[in-house]
Structure 1
Amino acid sequence: MRYTPSYVLDDPDEVRRLIRENPWATIVSGTANGLVASHYPIVLEEEADGISIVSHVGRPDEELHELGQHEVLVIVQGPHGYVSPGWYGTGDFVPTWNHVTAHLYGTPEILSDEENFRVLGDLVDHFESRMPEPMSLDIDEQSARRIAKGTVGIRIRMTRFDARRKLSQNKRPEVVERVIERLENDPNYAQPALAEEMRRVHGE
């Protein structure tokens, strides 16, 4: 990503928060047959040292990605949205796009069938926990294990990351407040999650 010092996000805890709140990721591999990209849910391993995620891919994606043979890029996209120069109120005419994005790098570890099944169960439990009547793989473990055979579990311990948090840091406070207000209420380009992230960051 373009290097702009004021937008660089180098705090691992903030990257973990980004993963935690935005668990739909893009996995990109440079393979012998060219670039391959897939999209899967990921879960942060909270107790791990550094940044580590677990996920799964559907067969035959593990072969297409040549998983375990080389480093992959995992892209996590947080809130983002268009910012009109008309919101600045300063005569500026150049639009932009605010966003929070992390590029994470690591070599996947292929999980055993048993650990993959545990991770799949944890994944379901993680997302079902807020439902009024949570579902679980335990409801029919035998059927769940049959379905799990069509997946390959992975763990990626990140060796490095490159992240950006571009949230109008180059604008005056009154302009930032106008951008936030439009992101909360504009009939064409409202992005409440982005507005909330801007309030959090600019309030730090």
Structure 2
Amino acid sequence: MHPAKPFHVDDRETLLGFFRARPFVTIAAAVGGRPFTAQAPVVVRELDFGEVALDFHLSRGNALAPYVVQGFRAVALATGPDAYVSPDWYGTEDHVPTWNYVSAEAEGLVAPLSDAEFVALLDDLSAQEEARLLPKTPWTRAKMSPGRFETMMRGVIGCRLSVERLEGTWKLSQNRTAAERAGVVAALGDHPIAGLMRDP
């Protein structure tokens, strides 16, 4: 996360909403002295006592998969729109180029899901993403041939990242004057970052 305080976001509902809106995340971990990354879609779980988890699955061929049973610490990174910002757009002197962006991180321990939790994850993930396609009739595994779903499950492993740290960076030129920000918004036009800068 960016270290500057003006860009820091720690509002739980904002961040969980961001993960729900952009559920395809990068998982980063260092296991056995090596860095690993994987990409996976997540389902946000709000559990008992205010706990939060991100459930996801990995191919059994993924380099991280063998370590899931023993558990490991990881960071899940969700990214939003981003844009290069030219110093010329500020309308003032002595600035350098920068980048505006929106991202969120969730850090915690990754452990395997039970069989029942894994099935629930796959069903919930499909339902979550099929809902984005409405009015299309949602796909469900009931459309599969008997036994096919169970066969395919053997090729993947269900995982849960129990969130211990949740924070985000909304770097939208908050450290600039109103006039400088307006110059960046005007230059970016209809770019999504310009929209976020208008209504952060």
Q: What is the TM-score normalised by the length of structure 1?
A: 0.85
> Does 2:98 align with 1:74?
no
Aligned amino acid, residue 37 of structure 1: T
Aligned amino acid, residue 78 of structure 1: G
Q: Tell me what 1:177 maps to.
A: 182
Deviation at 1:183, TM superposition (A): 2.2
C-alpha distance in structure 2 between counterparts of 1:17 and 1:162, whole Å = 12
Q: Tell me what 2:116 maps to.
A: 114
Deviation at 1:143, TM superposition (A): 1.7
Runs (5+) with no aligned partner, structure 1: 186-191
Deviation at 1:2, TM superposition (A): 4.1
Q: Tell me what 1:151 maps to.
A: 156
Q: Tell me what 1:199 maps to.
A: 198
Q: What is the TM-score normalised by the length of structure 2?
A: 0.87
Count of equivalent residues: 195
Moved over 4 A (4+): 62-65
- The structure whose residues are more often strand, as a share, is 2
Q: How many percent identity over aligned positions?
A: 28
Matches for 1:37-186 after TM superposition, within 5 Å: 37-46=37-46, 49-61=50-62, 63-64=64-65, 66-67=67-68, 68-131=70-133, 132-140=136-144, 142-185=147-190
Aligned amino acid, residue 38 of structure 1: A
* Structure 1 residues 97 and 6: alpha-carbon distance in aligned structure 2, compared to 1, 3 A threshold: same
After superposition, what is the alpha-carbon deviation per residue over 1:55-103, rounded to whole angstroms, capped at 9, x for unaligned? 1111033755612422111112122111111211223441110112222
C-alpha distance in structure 1 between counterparts of 2:7 and 2:66, whole Å = 31
Report the RMSD for the aligned CA atoms in angstroms. 2.1
Runs (5+) with no aligned partner, structure 2: none
C-alpha distance in structure 1 between counterparts of 2:132 and 2:77, whole Å = 25
After superposition, what is the alpha-carbon deviation per residue over 1:102-149, rounded to whole angstroms, capped at 9, x for unaligned? 222111131122321221111111111132232222211632222122
